Amino acid sequence: MTRPRIAITVGDPAGIGPEIALKTVADPRVLDACETVLFGPPAACRFVPGRLSADAGQAAHDAIVDAVGAAMAGRVDAIATGPINKEAFALAGLPWHGHTELLAHLTGASFVAMMFYTDVLRVVLATIHVPLAAVPGLLTRSQVERVIRLTARELPRFGYATPRLAVCGLNPHAGEGGVLGFEDAREIAPAIAACRQDGIDVVGPVPADTLFVRAARGAFDAVIACYHDQGLIPVKLLAFGKAVNVTLGLPIIRTSVDHGTAFDIAGAGVADHGSLVEAVLLAARLATTTAGACRPAEGAS
């Protein structure tokens, strides 16, 4: 069987992305699993390691655009992205706060979610790159319900035919009956109830301080977290360097690393490429097991 072709973007060229990309394409595990195609700025372009710049942000953006175009056209079977810098994006005048929002724009996907995938824990974020103060207002019944349904629809691709899902409470003790906040009872619980009526195996809201322990011990196949740090702290505590960021809801397969640009060690030759290897291997696996990597996005025409 023909091995899948995986596009790898180098991310911000002033960070560790170029280094880990080169290490990854030469890694025996990757060579055995797939063919790789690098996307990044031309070799003639020079960037100072560790220096934040608009040019680097624009170069990272352009590589993502090119890789997505190749995936949408079927020239590659999936993409694995290196780390970008949100400040560099802002300096370049780009409106996106991260890969997820940009990928949705480029592919025409109407609703996407960020999932961090590890062997021990899978976490989907109900809100992504927003200030913590904005989370309660964004965590509506509609938003939570859409994330649950998307997760239930996508998890079978990862080997969970009938996924068991659990949703974190937003407030301590999931609101304690309204004593510690009203969002859990007013927004999250009704969304869960609606999904359960349609046959989705989902429970919650469950206090977050115990839910991740239960999930890591196998009680649930995926956890839906209310906000960025609620979900990513346990993932990175358990599997930093081995977790893979996956965008759910795209018409293409996209995976990524679980870390940032690491400007403090850029150019030193000491960056660990393990997370990018894991991202490429998962992308290759999904491309191999998913019939037709490019499929219509929800709501796309």
Task: List the beta strands (DSSP E) in 95-241.
Answer: 113-117, 122-125, 165-168, 202-206, 222-225
158-201 tens-digit pLDDT? 999 999 999 999 999 998 888 898 999 999 999 999 999 999 99
**Alpha carbon distance 18, 244 (integer Å):** 18
Give, rounded to a whole angstrom, the gap between the first and last alpha carbons of the chain: 32
pLDDT band at 248 (very low <50, low <70, confident <90, very high): very high
Q: Which of 141-145, 215-219, 291-295 has the lowest mean pLDDT?
A: 291-295
* Helix (H) / strand (E) containing 58: helix 54-72
Complete domains list, the chain, with CATH: 1-112+249-301 (3.40.718.10), 116-242 (3.40.718.10)
- Model-level pTM? 0.89
